[in-house]
Structure 1
């Protein structure tokens, strides 16, 4: 019988939130515990004690970022009594993804997604796959007949367009052009 994960202490939760805010602006690629601990008012020893290891802290940060994504999915899902359609959901997703206040989270996501591809056995393990599954589930729920091969192909293409446009937006800052591209694709 699997054992339940212990509930994080208030201190652990507070430091996780602070570390998450730090990682949104500084990234995770070269995360060093000493500067992180100093910035969040802790020590490397405390972080290692609370999160077991640097990898444990990274896993906790990735879970925290994923929680933000999942909250969006829940909010979108709860706004409709019936599936609103793939185009409506994709447009709402793009608006959410492209919002300037989400750029730090989206950069964090890109970094974590990329790392999960090149370091699949480390703390990044399965991050990329799980986010793909999360977003495809949301898109699937918006389709009236999601079980067909055509519906699966369409939601996969929509996800690819959204993520490609997001990468382009993050690289160039050109919201107008990338939004036009998404809208053009969704208009088909």
Structure 2
């Protein structure tokens, strides 16, 4: 007779795995060191999640859910889409969100390299941000929302790599001014 499922143990392992991946990233992730960090063994991770790929899928989904919960805390800009975009940028580029951004960039690079386990997730994440911008900037088109998402993603990547946040925040301010000018006429 096999072990009985332990949903609480599985949920606990998943939360710890998310913490681990947010801190250490995905590059070179191996089940044995992950399991050791979680206080278990690779066999138990496979028992609870079925495979490394399924575990990674669940880790990415849980990390995204955490980020969405943090997004729920975002305030500011009610009624003014540009003020809302500015508040979003402050939130999006904050040190608190950096682990989530690094993880998403790792997934996107993996998708570019043809890693199938990341392609669907990366695509859904990009479309999710486009949908978020479409909701926040009424009257914008998917192409315009893509421009905003691409610009914010590029600026965020620049800031994470260089640490030159004053320059990057200035570039965001310039982008916001271009958007405001474009909305006036």
TM-score (norm 2): 0.84
TM-score (norm 1): 0.83
2:96 matched to 1:101?
yes
Q: 1:19 aligns with which of 17, 20, 36?
A: 17
Other-structure match for 1:140 = 134
TM-superposed CA distance for 1:101, in Å, is 2.2
Other-structure match for 1:5 = none
Other-structure match for 2:47 = 49
Q: Which has the higher contact order (CA 8 A, sep 6+)?
A: 1
Q: 1:125 is paired with a residue of what secondary structure? A: helix
Distance (Å, rounded) in 1 between the aligned partners of 2:76 and 2:154: 27
Task: Tell me how large the CA RMSD over aligned residues is.
Answer: 2.3
Distance (Å, rounded) in 1 between the aligned partners of 2:150 and 2:39: 40
TM-superposed CA distance for 1:116, in Å, is 2.1
Q: 1:161 aligns with which of 132, 151, 156?
A: 151
TM-superposed CA distance for 1:95, in Å, is 0.9
Unmatched runs of 5 consecutive residues or more in structure 2: 1-5, 179-185
2:170 matched to 1:175?
no
Distance (Å, rounded) in 1 between the aligned partners of 2:71 and 2:132: 6
Distance (Å, rounded) in 1 between the aligned partners of 2:142 and 2:120: 21
For residues 58-109 of structure 1, give each alpha carbon's deviation from its aligned partner in whole angstroms, at most 9, with x where no partner exists.
Answer: 1111111221233345455xx6897542x23321221112111222221111
Moved more, 170-179 or 110-119: 110-119
Determine if contact 2:107/2:118 at 8 Å carries over to the other structure.
yes
Distance (Å, rounded) in 1 between the aligned partners of 2:111 and 2:177: 32
Unmatched runs of 5 consecutive residues or more in structure 1: 1-7
Q: How does 1:20-35 map to 2 (within 5 A)?
A: 20-35=18-33
